[in-house]
Amino acid sequence: MANLELALRAQQDKIVSLWVDRTLDSYISSGFFKTSPDRFANPVGANIREGLGRLYALLLEDAAPDELLAPLDQVIRIRAVQEFSPSQAVAPILEIKWVVRQVLAGERADKDIETELDEFDLKVERMALLAFDMYTECREQLYRNRINELKSGRHILTDSGCISSLLRQQAPAS
């Protein structure tokens, strides 16, 4: 994977930037997530940016699957608690294949790179399977938490409206 690896390292910033942009485009507030650099005001954008950057670096290092878990968790856990279907939640992981092909379009005439892309695709697909497992675990945890809320009666606190809002609704119109 020598020729492809050199090309991927040379274009790393461009590839990661495009990958992050395409991932953040899947959110309704994508403009804010893309432009706000404040980690506290924009934790979604910051975690996506950091997680995908680390995943890309690990792909280049040919990292073991367990090394991918922390940055995958950083990306997938956010998507698991939002209104994404399982395929939408995991899609950004597979999107790196398209991004790499777009950025390396001029260099793909090299037959070695074309063959090496198959190996790269296999690594990405294995990473996507890990992401799907992680998404499933996160969703199961959410459902277990919800069931525990219902059993304990805490749902009354979490599902009811804000006290001031309820008082305004009950107040007579003046």
- Answer for the pair 19, 103: CB distance below 8 angstroms, yes or no: no
Closest CA to 101 of 13, 24, 27, 11: 11
pLDDT tens-digit readout, 115-160: 889 899 999 999 999 999 999 999 898 888 878 777 776 655 556 6
- Answer for the pair 42, 36: CB distance below 8 angstroms, yes or no: yes
Question: CB under 8 Å to 51, separation ≥6 — which residues?
Answer: 71, 72, 73, 74, 75
User: What is the pTM for the complete model shown?
Assistant: 0.79
pLDDT tens-digit readout, 54-74: 999 999 998 999 999 999 999
